[in-house]
Amino acid sequence: MKTFRIWFGCVLGLTISMVFGWSNGMFATLLPMFVLSRMEHWHLGILLQVFLSIVWCSLQVTAIIGFLQPYPMLMTVAVGIMLLFKCFAMGHKSTYLFGYVGLLIGSILLNYGSYNSFDLEDFIIGLWIAAITAIPIAAMAFYLFPEPQTDQVKPPVITVNNQRRDPLGMIRQAALGWIVAMSAFILFQVADLQDSSGAQASIIIVLAPMTLVGALGAAKIRIIGTFIGCFAAMLIQLGLYTLSNNGLLFILAYAIAAGIFCRWLTTGTIKASIGFSAISALTIPLTTAFVPEQQDAFFSILYRFNSIFIVVIVASLMIWIVHHFLIRTIHLKNREI
């Protein structure tokens, strides 16, 4: 039933965004998928935690950009404090989701908000609407596809963090996440990478395990899943061809591809993480770059895969360097003591 719930949330989110013409259709599709993949039973707390994290993070970014953008040094300090708190939140099981969503959405908003031509307020409002819409979509999914009472409760499919109980380990995890997240922020501020939100999000997704071994595993999974999702998006575009302006056929083609990836999401193995990346790579180009009879997403799909591939490798190398630097630093401190 969980497969049907996730699939229903993705397809309904896409349908609603197309009917109302939302420019942020990717969030209306991916947010229900994200929360439904983490719930075995109805859990309003997870939905509220995601919604509050998005709202709080967007308010922080709006204040930082609105008041401190003319002062790069002060803005960098403010962003560093904001990201540091989110990295510490990811170190605790009860607040991990709040910190992870805030770190992911905050990084994207900070990148977009740095461009004067970008309407950040409109983007944030659309994001809020998508987050609110995810709640009734998830409720409807559980109503239509309830979990059988006889089934045993399974752990969440997407497990992206290896919790550390010792204070030193938690500090090291937070330091690793903060250094990499700040490096990504500075890189995307200096370079003109406005169209690389997927690549920037990939850094946070790879960073999510907060450990070296977990990050390297997530990097491989991210590349494989992105390739499969991009390939499926290209097949949908080429398969529909002149019929791509038919909304019903477009949703049907998306539903078929999403159904396969949603099945992977419920396997509880590496396939689940591949399915998560594949659905993202499938959804984002088709909801942002693809305009039937006006603009195809072929080059956007190629650019997305290439940028994510390069950034994931660079991020993995950076995580490896920072991890060994922190280990060496802590080891030297312990020897001095």
Q: Which positions ≥6 away from 160 have C-beta within 8 Å?
A: 100, 205, 208, 209, 214, 218
Strand partners, 295: 291
pLDDT band at 36 (very low <50, low <70, confident <90, very high): very high
Task: Give pLDDT, residue 287.
Answer: 84
Rounded to 5°, angle at Cα 163 from 159 and 164: 160
**Count of structural domains within the chain:** 1
Stronger pLDDT, 171 or 169, i.e. the higher one = 171
Give me the helices (H) in 191-246, please.
197-207, 212-240
Q: Is residue 156 pLDDT above 50, yes or no?
A: no
In the three-class reduction of DSSP (H, G, I as helix; E, B as strand; rest coil), residue 264 is classed as helix
Examine residue 154 and state whether it is found in any structural domain, yes or no.
Answer: no
Contacts of 268 by beta carbon, 8 Å cutoff, 6+ apart: 154, 155, 157
Please report how many Cα atoms fall inside a 13 Å half-sphere around the Cα of residue 172, on the Cβ side: 21
If you average pLDDT over each of 87-96, 154-163, 206-215, 326-335, which comes out highest?
87-96
pLDDT digits over 23-33, tens only? 777 899 999 99
59 domain residue, yes or no: yes
| 159-168, 187-196, 277-286, 326-335 — most confident range | 277-286
Average pLDDT value for residue range 179-185 = 89
Angle (CA) 34 225 115, round 5°: 70
Kindly report the average pLDDT of the chain as a whole number: 84
Q: How confident is the model at residue 127 (pLDDT cuts 50, 70, 90)?
A: very high
pLDDT of residue 155: 47
Residues 177-188, mean pLDDT to the nearest whole number: 88
- The first and second tokens of residue 149, run together, are 């009472």
Place of tokens 């919790």: 163
Average pLDDT over residues 231-250: 85
DSSP-derived letter for residue 153 is: P
d(CA 326, CA 283): 37
The whole-number pLDDT of residue 166 equals 65
Q: Which of 259, 284, 332 is nearest to 3 (CA)?
A: 259
Domain of residue 106, residue span: 2-144+163-336
Which three-class secondary structure state does DSSP give residue 13?
helix
195 has a pLDDT exceeding 70: no
For the chain, percent of residues with pLDDT exceeding 90:
35
Cα-based distances in Å from 153 to 244, 269, 273, 283: 41, 16, 20, 29
pLDDT at 157: 43
Residue whose structure tokens are 């307020």: 121
CA angle 79, 67, 62 (to 5 degrees): 65
In a domain, residue 45? The reply is yes
The predicted structure's pLDDT at residue 332: 62
Higher pLDDT, 333 or 10: 10
User: Of residues 109 and 197, which shows the higher confidence score?
Assistant: 109
Q: Could you tell me if residue 151 is inside a domain?
A: no
Three-state DSSP at 316 gives helix
At residue 158, the pLDDT reads: 42
Q: What is the average pLDDT across 247-259? A: 91
Residue 178 covered by a domain: yes
The answer to whether position 149 is within a domain reads no
Looking at the chain, the whole-number percentage of residues with pLDDT higher than 70 is 89
User: Model confidence at 317, in pLDDT bands (50, 70, 90)?
Assistant: very high
pLDDT value of position 330 = 66
Rounded mean pLDDT, 291-310? 80
Asked if the structure places residue 93 within a domain, the reply is yes
Q: Provide the Cα torsion 238, 243, 245, 249; round to 10°.
A: -90
pLDDT at 165: 55
% helix, strand, coil for the chain, step of 5:
80, 0, 20
Question: Could you tell me the CA-to-CA distances from 110 to 13, 124, 295 in Å, in that order?
Answer: 25, 11, 27
In a domain, 332, yes or no: yes
pLDDT at 255 over 70: yes
C-beta separation of 220 from 312 below 8 A: no
| pLDDT score, position 56 | 95
